[in-house]
Amino acid sequence: MTAPTIALLVPAYNASRFLPRLIDSARRQSPAFSEIWIHDDCSTDNTAEVARALGANVVTSTINIGCTAGKVRLLEKTSCDWVHFHDADDEILEGFTSAAQNTIRANPFVDAIIVGTEERSDIDQAHHAVNIPNAAELAQSPFLFSIKYQVNAICGIYRRPALLETRALSVSDEERYNEDQAIQLNLVTAGARFACIERVLVRSYLQPASMHRSNKLKCLQSQFHVMMRALGHDPSQFHRTEIGEAFSVQLWRIAAGAASCGDFFLADRAIELSRRLSFVPREAGGSLFRVLASLAPKFAVRWRECMIRTYKPHLRAT
């Protein structure tokens, strides 16, 4: 069997200081990536020049088109069988391509492979989290798996024709701050077939001024839109089901995050949708809060936020 070809596709904006680390980690893979492509999204630094000097293929935009549109351009440029999107400021760990090729050979009909990730601080290299996909849960219900776990784009390896056929990268403007989960759910609802590698093969570095940290409320608003689209026109079909409970957990997290940003309109919408799906989940808060939330959920969220701002203001310091 001919070895599957895998392209590394990297959307990049002002990433010149990060690209050497990423491309060095890619060059150390055995077997090698068949192609490495960088999309320079109208950077104001020398991202394109650094990428070319490191031996990558580069496509540039004369206006800033965003991460998802950049991925679409890269997908059009490569001719490889499989693609792996990676953020410019992250890293690929040893054994990535060999594990990917072995999994592709063992699962000839899959469209996407999910791998384990770890998060570290880019400042002091401190560990923050390790996320390893559970093969049994993914096999049982890719939809439930994709609601319970935030599937980051850097942990996916995708069959290129599947991305094109399913139009998985068709993400609305309302969803672009939560595009990774939107793309994952697009694949799931299109019937894509999944496998996973229960090993950490990519490393994500947390940046102090990352898009998610700098745009917390926009990310929450996007996540809410992704949740609504995934639920479809009739959320009642998931009422008191395991899937409904998983949605409810995410919606209460959105509500808490929105309240911390002062957006109680979004918090209320998330709460209303959650109540159509399930009881107040344990993940929503402590036992006292859950009792109050079951009786007066909107008041409960405001009361908790008031308590935090009054007695733990450091938690809301900007």
Residues 194, 138, single domain; the answer is yes
Q: What is the 3-state secondary structure (H, E, C) of 277-301?
A: CCCCCHHHCCHHHHHHHHHCHHHHH
CATH number of the domain to which 132 belongs: 3.90.550.10
188, 211, 234 - which closes a domain: 211
8 Å CB contact between 161 and 112:
no
Q: If DSSP codes are grouped into helix, strand and coil, which group holds residue 205?
A: strand
178, 194, 211 - which closes a domain: 211
pLDDT score for 128: 82
In a domain? residue 34 = yes
CA distance 139 to 193: 9
Flag whether pLDDT at 197 surpasses 70.
yes
Residues 35, 170, single domain; the answer is yes
Residues 147, 50, single domain; the answer is yes
Residues 302, 247, single domain; the answer is yes
pLDDT score for 213: 67
pLDDT score for 1: 62
Q: Which helix or strand (DSSP H or E) is residue 164 part of?
A: helix 160-166
pLDDT score for 318: 58
Q: What is the pLDDT of residues 284-310, one digit of tens each?
A: 999 999 999 999 999 999 999 999 999
Q: What is the pLDDT of residues 49-89, one digit of tens each?
A: 999 999 999 999 999 999 999 999 999 999 999 999 999 99
Residues 203, 261, single domain; the answer is no
Q: 């994500």: which residue's tokens?
A: 204
Domain containing 271: what range? 215-316
In a domain? residue 1 = no
CB atoms within 10 A of CB 170: 12
CA distance 123 to 210: 13
Taking the alpha carbons at both ends of the chain, their separation in whole angstroms is 55
pLDDT score for 126: 79
Considering only 17-26, 30-39, 150-159, 281-290, which range has the smallest mean pLDDT?
150-159
pLDDT score for 3: 85
Flag whether pLDDT at 208 surpasses 90.
no
Cross-strand bridge partners of residue 7: 35, 83
CB atoms within 10 A of CB 302: 15
Here the tokens at position 74 are 């890269």
Please name the residues in contact with 29: beta carbons below 8 A apart, sequence gap of 6 or more.
Answer: 92, 94, 96, 97, 98
| pLDDT band at 125; cut points 50, 70, 90 | confident
pLDDT score for 150: 81
**In this structure, what DSSP letter does residue 245 have?**
H
